[in-house]
Every structure is written in structure tokens, then in C-alpha cells.
Amino acid sequence: MANSAKLKSGEVLPEFQKYLLERNLVPEKNVFFHALWAGKFFAYCRKRQISSESYVENAVGEFLEALKSDPHISDWQIRQANDAIRLYYFHYRGLKPARLPAVKSNDSIPAVIDETRRVLRLRHYSYSTERTYLQWIRRFLDYGVKTQARMHATAWEAEDFRNFISHLALKERVASSTQNQAFNAVLFFYRNILCKDVEDLGNAIRAKRGQRLPTVLSVEEVKKLLARMSGKPRLMAELLYGSGLRLMELAALRVKDIDFDANTIFVRSGKGDKDRATVLPLAVRERLRDHLTAVKELHDRDIAAGRGIVYLPDALARKYPNAGKQWAWQYVFPSATLSIDPRSGRVGRHHISDTTIQSAFRTALQSAGIGKHATVHTLRHSFATHLLMSGVNIREVQELLGHKNVETTMIYTHVLRDMAGAPKSPLDALFRPRKNGANGKEGGT
């Protein structure tokens, strides 16, 4: 690893950048800036003849205070600089933190949760992921305090991690997907808050999950399902099926993401913080235009009442203070009621709740008499499978779905094979009708 004392001013630490990318510790678009902040800190230390070979709390504090005095540097940039320095020393260099938040009892857990929430938001995790991770981290901290008597964050070890994961499998008997969710949340806590690499997790008892094929509706079943829906729920269901969107991708769509001329929908910051483009079905174009006309009228009323503001991602609210009121940034499917943004605390109109379409989907599924264990996400599975059935190249389907690897998309080829090329049962051959003589009449077996 590079010796920080030999770094030149302005160097952007290529090896550190490579490390951040390989470990996926920060979003790819922020890797360069994290390395840049670390390089600026080293330059600050050299200028004041401070050793940068180890993490010095006072030096970091002075550096951050110097940044605060610069009117051109925002608060989020200062937090990014602090995270960059911590990542460099505690992950890349492998040093141990000198001071971490104490967890002396259940009453002091909120302080640790607040720090975890700050780091999650700095890394641009979605709000739903934030809530899920914090829920599991709270349970892990409660487990540590009650069963292991852990009184300080530095006391947590890899053994506690393994015990908690094993406890979920053996005592609480959670599903494999639930246990993996808890595993990822606590792993994030160890790596990013405790700054500890958890190795040798092989001793943890993990709930095993075999390969599962996704549930897929046939074309006729999709027709029956949609026929039993109407209004906005049907429009949303048609977009989920016709564009292959995830439920929260649909809910988070903004007006600017719909390109009617190119028949394209742009998904911004989807799973993995990736953007992609997918198709806008021609069958919904005009109804979607009419829907947006009604949404525009609602937005105009909100503006007149002084409430027409929407949440903006990252630092856009500070960079463009009035953008939250602009029509282009409004949600395509807004909530029917105003609410308080949990991050900014401002009153505005958020996107529609995911439970709205889920409830409508379940009702339609039952009304259509479809005896499959299907969910809203089944429409996305059906989108992919039906495209492959119609001859669309699997690479193109991969792009439309936003899958990182084609292996993920390949699961639908197994479904397609089972649907299209299933072998005939020997029972059918046993009782197959046969012809009687020259008159061509069918006879018995």
C-alpha cells in the first residue's frame, strides 16, 4: 500500500480507489472524490508537520473544522471527507479505531443507530433499505447487550456476529432470505460503523436455500388479471408488466423520466444505484398522458397552497432550491395525502404507497381465480419470460431488467423451457385415443 507520508499534494490515490471499487464500499461515482478528500487530508498534515501514518483524532477534527470555514464547501462534502478518511485508515490501512460510540444499555443504542443512519444516507442507500438495515442492527445490538453483556462497541467481535446469525436460524427459525437480509445488515454495521472486517464466518449456521424458479403468469392469466383491475391500479399493473419495472421503481418514477416521443421509461438509481432505460408500452401511452394531466392539476393546487414540494435525491435540494416545486420532478404516481419527509422534515407529497398496488393485485388475482402464489413482482418475471418466448435476445432482456450479470437473467430460460418444452406424461400416451379402421372413427384404448 502507498505510504501516506510520500503522497504528493493533489494525488488521488489510485490504489485506494481500486480498493473502494473492489470492495464496493462507496458508490462508483463517488470513489474519485473519496480518494481526493483523503489526499487533501494528507496534504493538510504535511503542511502542519503532523504525522499521517496513523489515525489522529485531533488532526482529523482540525481538518474538518478547516473545511467548515470554507463557504464553498457544503455540509455533505464535510461528511464525505470524514468518511473518506475513516475508510482509508480503518479499511484500506487496516488500523483499529481509537474511539467508537458506547452501547452501555438499551437506552444508548439510539446514538449508534443515528450514526449508522448517517452513513447509510451518505452511501445513498434507499429509504426502504435504510429502515430494514436499522431494524436488524437494533435487534443485533439488543441481542448483544442482553445475551453477551457487550458494554462498548469495541467489544463486539466476529463471534458475536456468528452467534446472532446462528440464533436466527436455530432459535427463531427464520427463512433463508430473512437471515441473509440480517446478515447483510449486520455486516454493513461491522464494516462501516465498527470498522472491523469479519472473517471466518463459516462457523455461523446459515439457513440454506435451494434454487427456486420464479412464479410466472401465462399470457392468458395476465389478460384475466388485468381485466379485473381498473383505473390507476390497472395502469400501474400494466406498466409493471409492460416495462418490467420493480414496484418501488414504478412508485419512484418522476415526470421527467417518461419520454413519450421515444416510447422510453428511464429508471433512475434503481437496484445497485444504477440507471437504465426500458420500454414504454404503446397500449398505455394515451391513458398515461391523461393520468399526468390529472396529476398536474393536483400539483398546481399544492403549489397554490404552498405545499407543492417533493423530495430530491442527494444534494440536489441544496444545489437547486426551487427544483422540488418544478413539474418535471414530481412523482408520476403521487400519494393521495400530504406527508412529512422523514429525512428533511418538510411537508410535501410523496409517491404512492406500495401497499396500494399490492392490495389491488391480490384482489384481482383472487377474482380471476388464478391459483398461483403470485405477487406484484410476478409481473416483472412474466415480462422477462414472455419477451424470451417472443424471441427477444437474452442480452436485451438483461438490459431492460437492469441485471448486472446475464446469469441472473438465465433463470427465465429455465422457466421458459418448463413452460414450452415440457415432456409428455406417459399417462397421456397410455390413454391416447386411437383410430378405428378405415372410417377414421376414434376407438377406445
**Average pLDDT, stretch 157-176?**
82
| Burial group, residue 145, by CB count within 10 angstroms (0-12, 13-18, 19+) | middle
CATH architecture of 211-423: Orthogonal Bundle (1.10)
- Per-residue pLDDT tens digits for 167-211: 888 888 888 888 889 988 988 888 777 777 666 555 555 666 566
**121 included as an active-site residue:** no
* CATH superfamily for domain 106-203: Tyrosine recombinase, N-terminal domain (1.10.150.130)
**Max avg pLDDT among 221-235, 296-310, 314-328, 430-444:** 221-235
**291 included as an active-site residue:** no
Give the number of other Cβ atoms within 10 Å of residue 272's Cβ. 11
**271 included as an active-site residue:** yes
**380 included as an active-site residue:** yes
| Burial group, residue 284, by CB count within 10 angstroms (0-12, 13-18, 19+) | middle
**246 included as an active-site residue:** yes
Residue ranges per structural domain of the chain = 4-92, 106-203, 211-423
**377 included as an active-site residue:** yes
- Per-residue pLDDT tens digits for 45-73: 888 888 777 777 778 888 888 888 888 88
Q: Say which of 196, 380, 381, 386 is annotated catalytic.
A: 380
Distance CA 164, CA 145 (A): 12
Q: Looking at residue 192, what is its pLDDT?
A: 77
Q: Looking at residue 102, what is its pLDDT?
A: 46
Confidence band for 133, pLDDT divided at 50, 70 and 90: very high
Q: Say which of 44, 88, 92, 412 is annotated catalytic.
A: 412
Do residues 79 and 85 touch, judged by C-beta distance below 8 A?
no
**Average pLDDT, stretch 343-365?**
87
Distance CA 142, CA 212 (A): 33
Q: Say which of 34, 117, 246, 386 is annotated catalytic.
A: 246
Distance CA 191, CA 193 (A): 6
Least confident window among 175-189, 329-343, 411-425: 411-425
- Per-residue pLDDT tens digits for 288-321: 999 999 999 999 999 998 888 888 876 677 777 7
Confidence band for 323, pLDDT divided at 50, 70 and 90: confident
Q: Say which of 118, 124, 271, 274 is annotated catalytic.
A: 271
In this model, does residue 360 exceed pLDDT 70?
Answer: yes
